[in-house]
Amino acid sequence: MALPVVVELLVDPIGHPQQGQLAQRREVAGTEVVAEGGVDALTTRSLAERTDIPVATIYRYFGNRDEIISAYLDHELEMIEASVTSGLMSLERVTFRSMVRAVALAYMRHFQAHPEGVPVWFGGRLNAAVVDRVRMLEERLAASLRSGVEGTGMAEARSDFIAPLLVLLFDRMFEFVFLTERTAEQQQEIVLTFVDIVSTYVERFATPAGLEGVASEAFVQARTQGAPATGAE
């Protein structure tokens, strides 16, 4: 669902009956604009034309197009984070290898389910709003993984570089996977190959807990303690 944050801010704050219809129009319009033209097509004017909402009304809540893009990407961050958490909680125990696999597959399935976001995340890196949100996502993910690993004793000391390195590798891998036309099966094959390569490396720093696993609930709780809130600068 595209632009849900934009939708929430633009609907009538008093909650008039037409709110649901307006929200649906904006969600569909936002998705269409992004899918057809990518990040450069998402502007206040294009959103206004697709929704029949006056540009002046949109400007009441957003000063420029970058703020609209940021709102879209902020919601994407929330959706990705929810997918990662769900993937981790589905594990009986979290090892280094199962953690990397769960996170990688959560990201892959999110982008497969929301292909309109691919050109925004991976094709819009010259846009300041996109660069800022990508950086935010990388910092959030690195902080949460580090907190989960340290909080559950899964890694040896002096391995604090692993989380940011792993996140950067994730980003480059997904850019490679999704910016070239591939089938879902081909995408998954690449992702799982990446999981095997990276897991083999990071297991060098694992304690017995990192190899044998910790309870998924404990890992998820530990990782949330070090991650900044979504939307934080």
pLDDT for the residue 54: 79
pLDDT for the residue 214: 96
What pLDDT digit, counting tens, does each position of 210-220 carry? 999 999 999 99
- Cα–Cα dist 229/219, whole Å: 18
User: pLDDT averaged over the chain?
Assistant: 78
pLDDT for the residue 125: 73
pLDDT for the residue 226: 55
10 Å CB burial of residue 195 (0-12, 13-18, 19+) is buried
pLDDT for the residue 120: 78
For 161, the token pair is 């570089």
Place of tokens 């490679």: 176
Fold of 73-224: Tetracycline Repressor; domain 2 (1.10.357)
Which residue stretches of the chain have pLDDT < 70?
Answer: 1-39, 51, 61, 124, 157-160, 226-233
Q: What is the CATH number of domain 4-59?
A: 1.10.10
- Cα–Cα dist 143/223, whole Å: 8
Within the chain, all domains assigned CATH 1.10.357 are found at 73-224
pLDDT for the residue 70: 76
Beta bridge partners of 209: none
Angle formed at CA 100 by CA 79 and CA 115, multiple of 5 degrees: 40
Within the chain, all domains assigned CATH 1.10.10 are found at 4-59
Beta bridge partners of 94: 214
pLDDT for the residue 32: 56
Contacts by 178-187 with C-beta closer than 8 Å and gap 24+? 178/111, 178/118, 178/122, 179/118, 179/122, 179/123, 184/112, 187/108, 187/112
Count the neighbouring beta carbons within 10 Å of the beta carbon of residue 106. Answer: 19
Q: What predicted TM-score, i.e. pTM, was given to this entire model?
A: 0.76
Alpha-carbon torsion 112, 113, 116, 119, what sign?
Answer: negative
What pLDDT digit, counting tens, does each position of 4-25 carry? 444 444 444 444 434 444 444 4
Contacts of 194 (CB under 8 A, 6+ apart): 104, 169, 173
- Cα–Cα dist 50/33, whole Å: 8
